Amino acid sequence: MVGRRAYLTNVSTDNRSPLPDRIDSIFKRAREGKALFVNRNVLMPEYVPDRLPFRENQINTIAEVLSPVLHGSKPSNLLLYGKTGTGKTAVARYVLSRLQAELSKGGLTVSYVNTRIAGTEYRVLAEFAHSLGVSIPFTGLSIGEVMGRIFKEIQQKRIHSIFVMDEIDYLVKAYGDGVLYEFTRASDRISPASLSLVGISNDLKFKEELDPRVLSSLGEEETVFPPYTVEELREILRERAMIAFRKGVFSDSAVNLCAAMAGTEHGDARRAVDLIRIAGEVAEREGLQTVDDSCVKRASEKMEHDRVEEALRSLPLQNKIILLAVSRFDTGTNTGEVYLAYNSLSKKIGTEALTQRRVSGILAELDMLGLVEAAVVSKGRRGRTKRIRLLIPQDTFNKTLAEDPTLAATF
DNA sequence: CCTCCACTGGAAACCTAGGCTC
DNA sequence: GAGCCTAGGTTTCCAGTGGAGG
């Protein structure tokens, strides 16, 4: 409140602030400079292209598996496997949208939920329910109750429903396969309506964690998506760049570099497409006429930088304090030392300190986010602990955490 | 080869904040 | 309003452990 008032006062009294002039010059440059992009949308993550090169086999298989719905019978459940950025989601969306277009008179609902983004079992089901038009409170119902409402809706409306669960491996790892079991079991008793599952998994070994009954039902049909080769990536990128940019803006060598950089990261097409978009944005911002190799390199650095900053910013307060405690040891440290430093920081800030068990757990979470390296090491007589090291550049770290008013006092 | 440190990490219980049904 | 349910974060308890040093 105080902060906002101070800000408003500042703006209203200082009309000659340099801000408007800078905006003018940005606008002027944007108006005068030739836009590099013709169609930026085709480089957005949610864009589904009309043509998915090198995925014809997968498209045909999935179309075949799902086609029974066209004459009113239940399609088999389907599992799609492959690493990130191999086109699983795009292919699934593509085939399903074609299927829906084919069945324009309705009778088919397609629901798509990313289970990792939804977060919990309950929220996955709630999102599915919402997409069927059933309203579910964000808490308060049992899982069984939500399931019951979903099945009731499908049965009453006599619809065929296809439920796509992206990153299904996440759900199974975190919550087990109970929900999947219920789904596969229930599909018999809702006839003549039907429910088919399409599971998308990044993890090839995820099947091992499934109950055999679930596996035999869910894995009726399977399609594997191999990583794109560098040549395939190059082809895909060239095609996209051609639509996205004005002619001659994006150099061939920059396309090749994007393909090579993403190719070394297991053929991840999503990352490759992000890379050309951001390289274009970098060039645009700098007022360049073409996008060359150096723009791609800067784009790659920017992506990494943004990822880290975003991860830092969205951290809960306690995790930030723990990170701050880690940063006090520039040569690396261990759990015990971090805990002591964390305790004194908490006292200084005036927050209740968590237990060491919890701090240990949070350190493991920070390790997963790539903000910290926490490897379990044994020091013989001196026990077993985590060797902890901050992985973020100090300046990025300080700049981002200093934004948090509760932490400002510790800098 | 054995001991023993400084934890790790699993499991269960607890807490808060919410909603539903009767 | 009681009694049930949920999520999600946390605490409590404790068995387990890799390996340096005796």
Domain A315-410's class? mainly alpha
DSSP reduced 3-state for A240: helix
Question: Distance from residue A83 (CA) to nucleotide C19 (C1'), in Å?
Answer: 37
pLDDT of residue A29: 66
Dihedral Cα A362, A366, A368, A371, nearest 10 deg: -170
The answer to whether A121 and A175 are in contact (CB under 8 A) is yes
DSSP reduced 3-state for A16: coil
Dihedral Cα A395, A400, A402, A407, nearest 10 deg: -120
Nearest nucleotide from residue A125 CA, by C1' atom: C6
pLDDT of residue A378: 93
The CATH topology of domain A229-310 is Helicase, Ruva Protein; domain 3 (1.10.8)
Nearest nucleotide from residue A175 CA, by C1' atom: C7
Nearest nucleotide from residue A319 CA, by C1' atom: C9
Beta strands A108-114; A160-166: pairing state: parallel
Compute CA A372 distance to the chain's CA centroid, rounded to the nearest angstrom. Answer: 20
What are A113-137's pLDDT values in tens digits?
Answer: 888 777 778 888 888 888 888 878 7
pLDDT of residue A15: 44
Identify the H or E element spanning A66: helix A56-66
pLDDT of residue A389: 94
Beta strands A194-201; A221-225: pairing state: unpaired
Strand C nucleotides, any atom under 7 Å from protein beta carbons: they are: 5-14, 16-21
Question: Distance from residue A246 (CA) to nucleotide C3 (C1'), in Å?
Answer: 66
Question: Distance from residue A387 (CA) to nucleotide C21 (C1'), in Å?
Answer: 21
pLDDT of residue A13: 40
What's the full length of chain A, in residues? 411
What is the largest distance, in Å, between two alpha-carbon atoms of chain A?
A: 73
Domain extents for chain A?
A: 56-225, 229-310, 315-410
What are A256-274's pLDDT values in tens digits?
Answer: 999 998 887 777 898 899 9
Under DSSP, the state recorded for A337 is H
Rounded Cα–Cα distance for residues A118 and A279 (Å) = 30
pLDDT of residue A20: 61
A119-127 long-range Cβ contacts below 8 angstroms, 24+ apart: A120/A174, A120/A175, A121/A171, A121/A174, A121/A175, A121/A178, A121/A179, A122/A146, A124/A165, A124/A171, A124/A179, A125/A150, A125/A179
The answer to whether A128 and A113 are in contact (CB under 8 A) is yes
The answer to whether A390 and A397 are in contact (CB under 8 A) is yes
Measure CA to C1' and name the residue nearest C7: A139
Nearest nucleotide from residue A363 CA, by C1' atom: B8
Identify the H or E element spanning A81: strand A78-82
pLDDT of residue A63: 95
CA A304, A307, A308, A309 torsion: positive or negative? positive
Nearest nucleotide from residue A149 CA, by C1' atom: B20
Question: Distance from residue A76 (CA) to nucleotide B17 (C1'), in Å?
Answer: 41
Residues in reach of strand B, judged by a CB distance below 7 angstroms, are A 137-141, 334-337, 339, 356-357, 360, 363-364, 376, 380-386
Superfamily of segment(s) A56-225: P-loop containing nucleotide triphosphate hydrolases (3.40.50.300)
Rounded Cα–Cα distance for residues A347 and A256 (Å) = 53
Model pTM score = 0.73
- A278 token code pair: 């951001």
Question: Distance from residue A382 (CA) to nucleotide B5 (C1'), in Å?
Answer: 5
Cα-atom radius of gyration of chain A, to the nearest Å?
Answer: 26
Measure CA to C1' and name the residue nearest C9: A358
Question: Distance from residue A263 (CA) to nucleotide B15 (C1'), in Å?
Answer: 48
Measure CA to C1' and name the residue nearest B19: A140
- A364 token code pair: 């493991």
Question: Distance from residue A295 (CA) to nucleotide C11 (C1'), in Å?
Answer: 50
Measure CA to C1' and name the residue nearest C19: A380
Residues in chain A where the model's pLDDT stays below 50? 1-17
Q: How many CB atoms lie within 10 A of CB A70?
A: 13
Residues in reach of strand C, judged by a CB distance below 7 angstroms, are A 119-123, 139-143, 316, 318, 352-355, 357-358, 361-362, 378-381, 383-384
Which phi and psi angles does A162 have, rounded to 5°?
-115, 125
Question: Distance from residue A142 (CA) to nucleotide C3 (C1'), in Å?
Answer: 14
